Chain A
């Protein structure tokens, strides 16, 4: 081989297929993103351009009557109730999940690396692999009756929604943070211990601050996941199209409103367009989360 083939030829022949393959995959990925984003944007904007609904009314009105007859005042599509539901549930889920996840990650990376890796990590990875419909069904069959019988209300509630979500987003936060903690230079910990810190002090004052970017990345990814989850949440929140006044009230989210109504509405109707606009809004929220991430990762210069 080394005598028969000129070095250049050999390299060219073996490099080319790989190059085409990777290029092709990259182009395919870019095309699908561009197509999806432009399609949702065009459909989502038609509420405002074709139906003439003002963006302000859409985002800040709570009046959702997409099928009201003209003689009763005509249709109205204000989605504030849905936006509120999505944001409240996602935020509460992160508030509950983040502290628990941080503790799990510290346990796995610092306290008991062996036991953590052996038992905790597989169980948390398993949580990530459970389909969301299973979470929803467990929530519907166990959590909702439990809340109804022990805490009050009808069970279908913000509480049930964010409890289910907080478990679903835990793997995301834990795995990102564990990886960051493990990748910290050994010197950080050794220096802290050499200065006389206890193990707890070195974790609390040195390692967690140093892993800040991983922490924020995990939380933002968890928040994005929580915001976009539809099925499991829809099964336990009761889907009431009304502003909730307590954590025990049923609520509705953007994603559950879309899944409930999408099939029912004829293409091109105001109702259908409004659902696309809600989709566009969730897409913009994801973009926002990703931008925050990029910013944080660039600024979080402590690591590496």
Chain B
């Protein structure tokens, strides 16, 4: 087999796609898989314009305006949780949804108002292209419009800034947690795998790989590899994602959760 595959989009999914691409290329030396970030919006836009073979996204194509979802084929690779993360010096382990909304809409501006130290809150956002931002806004903030904050276009930079800036809060996919920043619980529920698969922790997203029409050739082979046991049973859990098969619930693009 030979050919080139370009996968663009979600930075929440990027570590998984990169790792899988490296292993796939080791097995198929004549295939070149290029993985790029840019955000879920970028992935959806690029794949529907034909500029990329695979568009990675944390949101359903139907949720993004200006995208013709009918011509895209959805491949759900796995699930990832997302959580509010704070600078490790903020000694807060739990926030209620109300507190979280007030923080992100700019109503609460000091940590002492939510039981923390007397320290100004620094908001770190992702751009609107980000699927992490869209998911967090929908399921953690009940669609409240975020106040203006620092904006960075990659999850890696967000983590670096939250780690270094006193009083910083942002949100990250759980695959980006490495101990340098602290994830906080929401309404007393910790963002753990157990709470996500049972539906107790609501902030999570399907990791979609979209193709324009049916995938063929190297693209199809790569997507099959992503769904193979080798990826699903090893790389997926190692990097902090959850295989779709372990989910006890399903959620439609309308956000309605059903038991499997």
Do the two shown chains form a genuine complex with each other?
A: yes
Write the chain A residue with the least CB distance to B127. A260
B148 touches A241 (CB 8 A): yes
Expressed in whole angstroms, the Cα–Cα distance for A252 and B153 within the complex equals 13
Q: Does B175 contact A (CB under 8 A)?
A: no
A154 touches B148 (CB 8 A): no
Q: Does A74 contact B (CB under 8 A)?
A: no
A266 touches B151 (CB 8 A): no
Of the candidates B65, B127, B148, B165, the one whose C-beta lies within 8 Å of that of A242 is: B148
Q: Does B152 contact A (CB under 8 A)?
A: yes
The 8 A CB mask of B161-196 against A (1 = contact, 0 = none) is: 100111010000000000000000000000000000
Write the chain B residue with the least CB distance to A271. B66
A264 touches B164 (CB 8 A): no
Expressed in whole angstroms, the Cα–Cα distance for A264 and B128 within the complex equals 8
What are the residues of chain A within 8 A of B161 when measuring CB–CB? 156
Write the chain B residue with the least CB distance to A68. B145
Write the chain B residue with the least CB distance to A75. B65
Q: Does A263 contact B (CB under 8 A)?
A: yes
What are the residues of chain B within 8 A of A264 when measuring CB–CB? 38-39, 41-42, 45, 127-129
Expressed in whole angstroms, the Cα–Cα distance for A154 and B169 within the complex equals 12
Expressed in whole angstroms, the Cα–Cα distance for A145 and B42 within the complex equals 31
Instruction: Kindly state the interface size class of chain B when it binds its partner.
Output: 20 to 34
What are the residues of chain B within 8 A of A238 when measuring CB–CB? 150-151
Minimum Cβ distance to chain A for residue B60 (Å): 16
Expressed in whole angstroms, the Cα–Cα distance for A207 and B129 within the complex equals 54
B46 touches A263 (CB 8 A): yes
B165 touches A148 (CB 8 A): yes
Minimum Cβ distance to chain B for residue A141 (Å): 9
Expressed in whole angstroms, the Cα–Cα distance for A252 and B151 within the complex equals 9
Expressed in whole angstroms, the Cα–Cα distance for A162 and B84 within the complex equals 32
The 8 A CB mask of B146-161 against A (1 = contact, 0 = none) is: 0011111100000001
What are the residues of chain A within 8 A of B46 when measuring CB–CB? 263
A156 touches B38 (CB 8 A): no
Minimum Cβ distance to chain B for residue A302 (Å): 48
B148 touches A265 (CB 8 A): no
Given A252-B151, A263-B45, A267-B45, 9 further pairs, Cβ under 8 A? A155-B165, A238-B150, A239-B151, A242-B148, A259-B153, A264-B128, A265-B41, A266-B66, A267-B49
Residue ranges of B at the interface with A (Cβ–Cβ < 8 Å): 38-39, 41-42, 45-46, 48-49, 65-67, 122, 127-129, 148-153, 161, 164-166, 168
